[in-house]
C-alpha cells in the first residue's frame, strides 16, 4: 500500500462506517502504475438494502423536508466548507485512483464546492404556482421530494458527479443512496466524511462502493427507492431503465456521447485548435462531453489539423502525480477497447496521423494522444464512443452537410460550432441535436448551465436550475372555501 492514502475504507451507511455485509473487499489500483493502492469494503445487495432502509427511515422522519429550505441550503454550505479542508487529500486521491492530473484533481474539488454552494443558494427558490379557479376556490402547487434517490456514478468524475446529485436531492428534501464506482471510489468517501462533519442527518446520505452488476443492479431494482439518477454508459443505462420500469421509478439518465464540433471556413483557427485539443485530450478523453469529432470545412482542413496535431504532440503523457499533462485510462480493459477501436479505424481506411496505440514501456494504462484523418461518417471510429484521447477529423463542403454529419450518430450530448459569423453560429446551433451547444469554445458554460442528453445520450438535466426539477414531483392542492 502507498503512503498518503489510507489502506482501507469502509462504506457510509446510516451515519456509520461499516464493513461489507460479507466481509469481502475490493482492491483499488493506480491506473498509472497498475499497482494496488487501497482496499474498500465491498458493498453487496445486503449492504444496499441496509442503506436503502437507512435512507427511508431518514426520509420518513421528515428531518430534512420539514426544515425551512434555506436551512437545507446552509447544510450544503457547511459540506462545501468541510470538503475544502480535505482538498489536498482529495486531489491526491483523484490522481492515484482515477488517473487525473494534480491540476485536474484540485479543479474537481473547487468544482464540487461550486455545485454544493450553487444548490445551497437555490434551496429556498423552488416555488410553486397559484392557479386561479374563480370564486370559492384556492388552488396551489408544491414541489414534493420523491423520497429515496438511488444514484449510480461512473469512475471518470465521481466527486463532482456524485456531489451535484446529492446536493440537488438534499436541498429538495430527498435522501440518498449512492453506489460509488468500483474503479475510483476514494474521493466520495471524503465527501461522506464532509457530510458527517457538517451535520448532515444520519441516513440522509449513504455511500456504498460495490460492483455494478451486483450492488449497482441491486440498487436500481430495489423496491424501496423512489427515484434514480444514473450516469454511465448507454448499455448499462438501458439495464437500469429496465429495472426502474419494473418499479415505475422516474429516472435522470446521463449517458455517453460522440460530440462533434463544426469548424466553418471563417473560424479563428488558433482558437478552434486550442479548444478542440483541450476538448478531447483533457483527462485523456474520459469525459462524457469530450469533443471527439472535429467536422472541418475542407478549405481549412489541413491547416487546422496541423495546429491540433502540434498541440496534441506537445502533451506529456504520464502519471499526473509527476506533473504530466495527460494521465492514463482507468484500467487495462478500457485501454484494450480504445486500442481495438483504433485498429478498426485503420482497417476501415482511416489514417492515424498521431498516436493510434498505447504508450509502450510502462505498466500504466497510457494511451497516446491520437488523431485520425481520412474518416468517413459511417466508420465505427466516427460512430462509437472511445472514452479515450482519440480525435476523428471529418471534412465537409456545405453547412448542410456539416449538420448531417454532426447529427449522424445515436448520441446527442454536446456539440460545437466555430465561426466569426453570428448568423451562421445561430443557424448551426439551431440545427444541432444535442443538449448543450458550445459556440467558439468547447465547454463554454458551467455548473449554472443545464447539462444533459438528447437521443441515446439520455434525458433529464443535471447542472443549472433545471436540474432541481428532476428531483421533485408536482402536487396540486385544490381548496373549496
Restricted to residues 265-324, the positions that interact with ligand NAD (CB under 6 A) are 288
Beta carbon nearer to ligand NAD, 177 or 255:
255
DSSP assignment letter at 213: I
Sheet holding 458-459, edge to edge: 16-18, 11-13, 205-209, 175-180, 148-152, 227-231, 251-254, 458-459
| Least distance in angstroms from the C-beta of 58 to ligand NAD | 23
d(CA 6, CA 163): 22
Sign of CA dihedral 184, 190, 196, 200: negative
Of the ranges 24-32, 75-83, 85-93, 225-233, which one interacts with ligand NAD (CB under 6 A)?
Answer: 225-233
Residue-wise burial string across 56-85, b where 16 or more C-beta atoms lie within 10 A, e elsewhere: bebbeeebbbebebeebbbbbbbbbebbee
388 binds ligand NAD (CB under 6 A): no
> Total residues contacting ligand NAD (rule CB under 6 A)?
29
Build a one-symbol-per-residue string for 137-166: x at contacts with ligand NAD by CB under 6 A, - elsewhere.
---------------xxxxxx---x-----
239 binds ligand NAD (CB under 6 A): yes
52 binds ligand NAD (CB under 6 A): no
254 as an active site residue: the answer is yes
176 binds ligand NAD (CB under 6 A): no
387 binds ligand NAD (CB under 6 A): yes
Beta carbon nearer to ligand NAD, 313 or 344:
344
Beta carbon nearer to ligand NAD, 78 or 229:
229
227 binds ligand NAD (CB under 6 A): no
DSSP letter string, 2-64: -TTS-SEE-EEETTEEE--TT--EEEEEETTTTEEEEEEE---HHHHHHHHHHHHHHHHTTTT
Instruction: Look at phi and psi of residue 349 and say left if phi exceeds 0, alpha if psi is from -120 to 50, else beta.
Output: left
Query: In sequence order, which residues have a C-beta less than 8 Å from that of residue 97 and are 6 or more positions away?
Result: 28, 29, 30, 31, 37, 38, 183, 184, 185, 186, 187
| Least distance in angstroms from the C-beta of 182 to ligand NAD | 6
User: Which residue, judged by CB position, is nearest to ligand NAD in the bound state?
Assistant: 212
| Least distance in angstroms from the C-beta of 411 to ligand NAD | 9
94 as an active site residue: the answer is no
d(CA 51, CA 12): 8
> What is the CA 261 to chain-centroid distance, rounded?
20
d(CA 111, CA 141): 33
d(CA 435, CA 256): 12
| Marked catalytic residue, from 254, 339, 384, 462 | 254
d(CA 149, CA 472): 11
| Least distance in angstroms from the C-beta of 331 to ligand NAD | 9
| Least distance in angstroms from the C-beta of 439 to ligand NAD | 20
212 binds ligand NAD (CB under 6 A): yes
Contact with ligand NAD (CB under 6 A): which of 89, 97, 108, 182?
A: 182
| Least distance in angstroms from the C-beta of 210 to ligand NAD | 7
236 binds ligand NAD (CB under 6 A): yes
Beta carbon nearer to ligand NAD, 141 or 247:
247
* 8 Å CB contact between 26 and 42: yes
Residues acting as catalytic residues: 254, 288
Q: Which residues bind ligand NAD (CB under 6 A)?
A: 152-157, 161, 179, 181-182, 212-213, 216-217, 220, 231-233, 236, 239-240, 254-257, 288, 385, 387, 413
Amino acid at each position: 500500500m502507498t503512503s498518503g492514502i489510507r489502506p482501507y475504507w469502509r462504506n457510509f451507511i446510516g451515519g456509520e462506517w461499516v464493513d461489507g455485509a460479507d466481509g469481502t473487499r475490493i482492491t483499488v489500483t493506480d491506473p498509472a502504475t497498475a499497482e494496488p493502492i487501497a482496499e474498500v469494503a465491498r458493498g453487496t445487495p445486503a449492504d444496499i438494502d441496509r442503506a436503502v432502509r437507512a435512507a427511508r427511515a431518514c426520509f420518513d422522519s421528515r428531518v430534512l423536508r420539514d426544515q425551512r429550505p434555506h436551512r437545507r441550503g446552509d447544510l450544503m454550505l457547511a459540506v462545501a466548507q468541510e470538503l475544502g479542508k480535505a482538498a489536498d487529500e482529495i486531489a491526491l486521491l483523484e490522481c492515484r485512483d482515477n488517473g487525473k492530473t494534480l491540476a485536474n484533481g484540485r479543479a474537481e474539488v473547487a468544482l464540487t464546492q461550486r455545485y454544493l454552494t450553487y444548490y445551497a443558494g437555490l434551496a429556498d427558490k423552488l416555488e410553486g404556482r397559484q392557479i386561479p379557479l374563480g370564486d370559492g376556490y384556492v388552488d396551489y402547487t408544491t414541489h414534493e421530494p420523491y423520497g429515496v434517490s438511488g444514484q449510480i456514478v461512473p469512475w471518470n468524475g465521481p466527486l463532482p458527479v456524485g456531489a451535484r446529485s446529492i446536493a440537488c436531492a438534499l436541498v429538495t428534501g430527498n435522501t440518498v443512496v449512492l453506489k460509488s464506482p468500483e474503479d475510483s471510489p476514494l474521493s466520495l468517501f471524503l465527501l461522506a466524511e464532509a457530510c458527517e462533519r457538517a451535520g448532515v442527518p444520519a441516513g440522509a446520505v449513504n455511500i456504498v462502493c460495490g460492483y455494478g452488476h451486483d450492488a449497482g443492479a441491486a440498487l436500481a431494482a430495489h423496491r424501496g427507492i423512489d427515484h434514480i439518477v444514473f450516469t454511465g454508459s448507454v448499455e448499462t443505462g438501458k439495464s437500469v431503465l429496465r429495472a426502474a420500469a419494473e418499479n415505475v421509478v422516474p429516472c435522470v439518465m446521463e449517458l455517453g456521447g460522440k460530440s462533434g464540433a463544426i469548424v466553418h471556413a471563417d473560424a479563428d483557427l488558433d482558437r478552434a485548435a486550442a479548444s478542440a485539443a483541450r476538448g478531447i485530450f483533457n483527462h485523456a478523453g474520459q469525459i462524457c462531453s469530450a469533443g471527439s469529432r472535429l467536422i472541418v470545412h475542407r478549405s481549412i482542413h489541413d491547416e487546422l489539423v496541423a495546429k491540433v496535431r502540434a498541440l496534441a504532440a506537445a502533451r506529456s503523457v504520464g502519471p499526473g502525480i509527476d506533473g504530466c499533462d495527460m494521465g492514463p485510462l482507468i484500467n487495462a480493459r478500457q485501454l484494450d477497447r480504445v486500442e481495438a477501436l483504433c485498429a478498426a479505424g485503420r482497417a476501415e481506411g482511416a489514417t492515424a496521423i498521431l498516436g493510434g496505440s498505447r504508450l509502450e514501456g510502462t505498466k500504466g494504462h497510457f494511451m497516446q494522444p491520437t488523431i485520425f484523418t481520412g474518416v468517413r461518417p459511417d466508420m465505427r471510429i466516427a460512430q462509437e464512443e472511445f472514452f479515450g484521447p482519440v480525435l476523428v477529423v471529418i471534412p465537409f463542403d456545405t453547412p448542410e452537410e456539416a449538420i448531417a454529419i454532426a447529427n449522424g450518430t445515436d448520441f446527442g450530448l454536446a456539440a460545437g460550432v466555430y465561426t466569426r459569423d453570428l448568423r451562421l453560429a445561430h443557424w448551426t446551433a439551431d440545427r444541432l441535436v444535442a443538449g448543450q451547444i458550445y459556440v467558439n469554445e468547447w465547454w463554454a458554460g458551467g455548473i449554472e448551465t443545464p447539462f444533459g442528453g438528447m437521443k441515446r445520450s439520455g434525458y433529464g438535466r443535471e447542472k443549472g436550475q433545471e436540474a432541481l426539477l428532476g428531483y421533485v414531483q408536482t402536487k396540486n392542492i385544490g381548496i373549496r372555501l
